[in-house]
Amino acid sequence: MTTTASPLHQPLRIRGLELPNRIAMSPMTRTFSPGGVPTEDVAQYYRRRAEGGTGLIVTEGVGIDHPSAIDHPDVPNMHTPAARDGWRRVVDQVHEAGGRIVPQLWHVGPLFGAMTDMPHIAPMRPSGVWGTPGVTSYPQEYVDRAVPETAAMTEDDIAAVIAAYADAARTSVELGFDGIAIHGGHGYLLDSFLWSSTNLRDDAWGGDLQRRTAFPVAVVRAIREAIGDDLPIVYRFSQHKQQDFTARIAETPEELGLILGAIVDAGADVLDASSRRFDAPAFEGSDLSLAGWAKKTTGAITMSVGCVGLGKSLRDGRLAGGSVESVDNIAELERRIGTGEFDLAAIGRLHLADPRITETLRNGGPLPTFDRAVHESVLT
């Protein structure tokens, strides 16, 4: 188990932000913000992780100001006056506890309606398609409802969404957040422009792989212009999709580098590589992880997430139900950070099981047991 000399507990500077260690709280949707407004309970929830020593807190997904950005009334937003006041309380509580926090800005794109059926609102899809169904944890009822084609995004749609991202980022900085995170993975809107199964366009926003990067690049560039040069941008990406866990946006390291290099050039600082296991090889012929390849192909700071301290991925754990066996893979996590394969470790479910997981790791304590029925049902 780790000690203060561990690579996990070494500081890291990202632009103007100083992190005391390499442990981040991974974003996790909680739906505890009635009407999109973070409550005092939400503020205390994040404060407890800051008090536990977490180096960087990445919030749950936060809806930008667009009609189809989020599909659940209790997912927080960043644009109503009440929500802004709620987030200001969150930021103040985290800072008072010595923490650092960034909001993960979110537009669900093709996956609108997965959480709550809202048939009166049209989803935003690059080409009007949901994506080729594959291995998924979604119920068949939702897949059947989602698969029929809708209208493709227009130029006005694209411009409105880009502007909404920039506005949300600007508001976040005004509220005191320490940077911006962007959800660009899992089949949601930004990722759907990268994935060939959902982007069938033949205009400036689609075509070959390089042209499919145009929309996420435009979003990152707009956010960078909105927040200035001092604060970091964290960009989450993935190969797998909610529509199909076997899907890929890149078949080779070179393709991955083309995508991520464009995103870094647009202003992203940290590439948040979401995979089902942090140590899973990303491509045949190498044991290098997805975060490792992201760093190798771009030179950027990278963060890995997936099954830290746990034996089942999020999807497999939810399908199994109940508790998930703890697996002490922390030494392997330390080894990979120590060799420079990636720079940060995002921990999700263990942050729910133990708000002081960073302190627990630093002190060599036992790994907690994650129980979905207990830890996903309340804010602890």
Per-residue pLDDT for 257 more than 50?
Answer: yes
Work out the mean pLDDT of the chain and round it to a whole number: 94
Give residue 364's domain range: 7-375
Look-up of token digits 């809806």 = 63
- Residue-wise pLDDT for 224-245, tens only, equals 999 999 999 999 999 999 999 9
Query: What are the structure tokens assigned to 51, written together?
Result: 């008090």
Give the pLDDT band of residue 362 (cuts 50, 70, 90): very high
* C-alpha angle 101-300-161 in degrees, rounded to nearest 5: 60
* Residue 2 in domain: no
Residue at 148 is within a domain: yes
- Say which residues have a Cβ less than 8 Å from residue 343's Cβ, sequence separation at least 6: 12, 22, 270, 295, 301, 302, 303, 337
Can you tell me the distance from the alpha carbon of 308 to that of 324, in angstroms, rounded to the nearest whole number? 12
- What CATH number has the domain bearing residue 145? 3.20.20.70
The answer to the question of residue 327 being in a domain is: yes
Residue ranges of alpha helices (H) inside the chain are 40-51, 81-96, 140-146, 155-174, 189-194, 209-212, 214-227, 253-266, 290-298, 314-320, 330-338, 349-353, 357-362, 372-375
Residue 56 pairs in a beta bridge with 24
Nearest to 106 by CA among 235, 6, 11: 235
Answer whether residue 345 is part of any domain. Answer: yes
**Predicted local distance difference test score (pLDDT) of residue 1:** 46
Over range 162-176, report the average pLDDT: 98
Dihedral (C-alpha) 16, 22, 23, 24: value to the nearest 10 degrees? 30
Q: Is residue 156 part of a domain?
A: yes
Residue from 45, 165, 188, 235 carrying the catalytic annotation: 188
Residue 311: band (very low, low, confident or very high) from pLDDT cuts 50, 70, 90: low
Q: Classify burial at 96, counting beta carbons within 10 Å of its beta carbon; exposed 0-12, middle 13-18, buried 19 or more.
A: exposed
pLDDT at 319: 54
Which is higher by pLDDT, 312 or 127? 127
**What pLDDT band is residue 61 in, cutting at 50, 70 and 90?**
very high
46 has catalytic annotation: no
| 65 found inside a domain | yes
pLDDT classification of 314: cutoffs 50, 70, 90: low
Tell me, yes or no, whether 1 lies in a domain: no
d(CA 58, CA 346): 9
Q: pLDDT: is 211 or 376 the higher one?
A: 211
Lowest mean pLDDT among 73-77, 151-155, 246-250, 313-317: 313-317
Whether 68 maps to a domain, the answer reads yes
Per the structure, how many domains does the chain have? 1
